[in-house]
Every structure is written in structure tokens, then in C-alpha cells.
Amino acid sequence: MLLGLKRTKNVKDVRSPITLPLLNQLLNALPHVCHNYYEFILFAAAYCLAFFALLRVGEITLTNAQTSYDPLRLENIVLEPSHLIINILRSKTDQTGKGKDSIWIVGSSIVARAKSYCQMNSPGLNLSLECKGVTVIWRGVGGMKWANFEDNIRKLLAEFDPPKIIVIHCGGNSIGELPLKQLQISMKIVLGRLHRQLNGTLLVWSYILPRFYWRSMLSSSAADVARNRVNSSIGAFVRNQLDGAVIRYPDIKTSQGKLFCDSVHLSNLGNSIFVASLQAALNKFLSSSERAYPF
């Protein structure tokens, strides 16, 4: 109420708008006032970004040492082939930092490599989900095991608000390290705890992919049986007990050698199928009550 009362005072804004000719004059003056080439590029980029993205000063940088807003950081910008996606953490019209809904895709090097693929190829890092009003945040860690999953979620929660959806692609590196039943129990305990903690977030189990080599299993065929059992058990648990969803990848098979670049990781062709499945599934989950892909 006090903040609202302060805004009832009409104060004339004496500042002139920045026009395109004025922006050009500012850019032309920078070489004469900047100490070095780095400063010139820094200010030129800031001025152009603020102008064309219609940003307020407080949305792009700190106006003074006491400003409580978070300044724009590198991780808040997604570079697409034809445009930028800017995630403004807080602004004059969003002072609590609610922002857009987000989707987290969390997992091992499969996720990290899918992110790298999206940086260079369509549909881009945001999976063309801008029209759904969401921002995609990738967290792929090479060699991630199930024991590391919860710690990575804690780090994300320390950095971002709880997401609308979490896609979980993790567990393949843990097959064979523990007895299968023990691994499944551990997964269910962690996922159940996450479901209670993030009430309102849709948990999505992304099926563990097949591979040629399993670091903790001598037999690839035995490992594949274990993989199928984990996927079936955890997928059913997430859907039936946690009201979550599942994503399967029936087109990614070890019999299709061109889909892999080594004994574990996907090739560009494999990544294109993996990413397309993620995109289609998330589109469906955001726009309908369907909770399995493909159906």
C-alpha cells in the first residue's frame, strides 16, 4: 500500500527518449571516451541490446551499489541462429522475479551433448517453446550418476525458482553399481521427496537410452535387461504415484549404428531424434493432459 501511495505522486519525466540517430551518435562517441577496445565493445553491446530489446537500465545493469535487482548475466541470454532469448530475472513490472515458467532438463552427458547440438541446430536451446511461455534450462553433467542427481537439483533451486516441468534423464551410469532393486528403491525415494518438495512441478522420466558399453556391467545384454526394468519400474512409479509423465525413445536402438558416435553417446543424427522427441513431448505435456510420449 505504501509503495502504491508513493506512485500516486505525478512527477514529470524530463528525460528525452533515445532515438536511433541518437544511438548512432553515442556509438560514434565511444572510441573517444573509452579506455580500451574492450570497454568500447562492452558499452556498444550494452547500448544496442538495451535499445533494441527495450530494456530499462535496471534490467541490464546495476544503477548503484544498493540496487537489489539482479543484473543481466551471460547465462540469462540464449543465442539462437536468428535471434536472442533474454531471461530478465527482475524488473520494474516483475519485482518479485516471478518471470516466465521454466523447464529443467537434467541429466548426464547425454543432456550436455543434446544442449551442444541445440546450440548449433534447430530447434535451438529453447526447443521453440517460446510460444508456450516457457524458458528451457539445461543442466547436463558428464558422468552424472544417480547419487549426484539430487545435489544438482539443489544447486538449480538455489539459482532459479521452481520449474513448471523437470525432465530427468539420469541413472544409466549407475546401472550395475548397485543391485537393481536397491537402485530402483533409491530412485523412488529421491523422486518421491522431490515430488513433495516441488508441489506443482511436473516430473518427467526420460527413458534411459540403450548403449554399447556399460562401465559397471560385463554383459551388454544383461545391462540392457536391467535398463528396461528400471525404465519400466520408474516410469510406472512417476506416472501412477507422482502424477508425472514419461518420454520414450523407440527409434533409438543399438542396431542403428549411425545414431551413435561412440559406445555411449549419440551422433548428430541420434541427437536430432533425441531432441525432436523432447520437443514434441514437452509441447504435448504443456498443451494437453497426455502424460506419455509417444502415446
Model confidence pLDDT, tens digit, residues 156-210: 998 888 999 999 999 999 999 989 999 999 999 999 999 999 989 999 999 999 9
For the chain, the average pLDDT equals 89
Rounded Cα distance, 103 and 136, in Å = 5
Tell me: pLDDT of 131 over 60.
yes
Rounded Cα distance, 107 and 169, in Å = 5
pTM here is: 0.72
Q: Between 74 and 169, whose confidence is greater?
A: 169
pLDDT at 94: 66
pLDDT tens, 198-210? 989 999 999 999 9
pLDDT tens, 222-276? 999 999 999 999 999 999 999 999 999 999 999 999 999 999 999 999 999 999 9
Tell me: pLDDT of 56 over 60.
yes
Rounded Cα distance, 109 and 139, in Å = 9
Rounded Cα distance, 130 and 13, in Å = 34
> Contact, 114 vs 269, CB < 8 A?
no
Buried b / exposed e over 42-63, threshold 16 CB at 10 Å, is: ebbeebeebbeeebeebbbeee
Tell me: pLDDT of 64 over 70.
no
Rounded Cα distance, 238 and 127, in Å = 24
Tell me: pLDDT of 286 over 60.
yes
